[in-house]
Amino acid sequence: MLIRRPDDIAASEITPESLYLSRRAFMGAAGAVALATASPGAARALGVQPKDEITPEEDATSYNNFYEFGLDKEEPKELAKNFKTRPWTVQVDGLVKKPAAYALDDLLKGLAVMDRTYRHRCVEAWSMVIPWRGVALKDILAKVEPLPSAKYVELTTLLDPTQMPGQRRGTLNWPYREGLRLDEAMHPLTLLATGMYGKTIPNQNGAPLRLVTPWKYGFKGVKSIVRIRLTETQPRTTWSDATPNEYGFFANVNPTVDHPRWSQAKERRIGEFLKRNTLMFNGYADQVASMYSGMDLRKFY
């Protein structure tokens, strides 16, 4: 039973967390670590449901939305198996004091690596619970020193149709782009993941670097990141450009605001038959709701 999730975390804290896995995940996944439990009172305080078990590794690595490698959920695992993720360069530019093309290892050098188990909710009404490994995006931003005028962070996926067959189609306007407000990017829950299940992140899950913001719908999780740009104005994002009435910039998990084609009130956890109620901000309201105080979340969806 997964019952661990970060409690209210001060923005200045960078203490790495231990990775706790359910007994089922421990038995089924190499690299998994110890089983842990907490009292019902602690679980309620964290907003964690009693049956939040880790999604089996095979499910999380074989059922993926990564349109650069195919539209079907099963295609990315096969079509991304030869994707080259080394060497890898991340361009950091825009409103920062230290713009540069950073080798990935140099960009991550000296930063605290942490293990975080997060609940994830896809806009298509399915969900998973995944143990990630990575660095806080705020630590990378601190390294490059945002200018006072910076208000947003834009993140962009690699554009390489020779390796990414999905980019040869006109499905979306490539490369894939996503963005966050600067306060969202600086939140301690916001992770740039380099691993999962105690291993290097697989190609189909966004190797070698992907965004993880657990209170937002899955399409915000831009994968195979090659550019981080700080801007003063809200950046354009791929799905908001493609279908603005369905996919907003904020993409906060909200069971009271339906997708135009389906309800968001319930979700089906991968590996389970019955649906469960979707939680506001995906269960992370205690940590993140204050960032949206006073906002109309039906308008800013």
Residue 194 identity (one-letter amino acid)? T
| 22-128-130 Cα angle (round to 5) | 55
**Contact between 27 and 21 (Cβ < 8 Å):** no
Best CA proximity match to 212, nearest among 279, 266, 284, 110: 284
φ and ψ at 109, to 5 degrees? -60, 130
Nearest-5° angle of CA 4, CA 203, CA 57? 40
Q: Write the CB contacts of 112 (distance below 8 Å, at least 6 apart in sequence).
A: 14, 15, 16, 135, 136, 139
Please determine, for residue 25, whether its predicted confidence score (pLDDT) is greater than 70: no
Q: Using one digit for the tens of pLDDT, what is the confidence trace for 75-134?
A: 999 999 999 999 999 999 999 999 999 999 999 999 999 999 999 999 999 999 999 999
Q: Which of 93, 90, 86 is nearest to 106 (CA)?
A: 90
Structure tokens given for 295: 């906002």
Q: With 50 as the cut, is the pLDDT of residue 153 above it? A: yes
Tokens (6 digits) for 85: 């993720």
CA 238: distance to chain centroid?
Answer: 16
pTM: 0.84
Task: Share the mean pLDDT of the chain.
Answer: 87
pLDDT attached to residue 207: 98
Reading the block at residue 104, the tokens are 């990935």
What is the separation, in whole angstroms, between the first and last Cα of the chain? 31
**Structural domains of the chain sorted by starting position, each given as residue range(s) with its CATH number in brackets:** 23-292 (3.90.420.10)
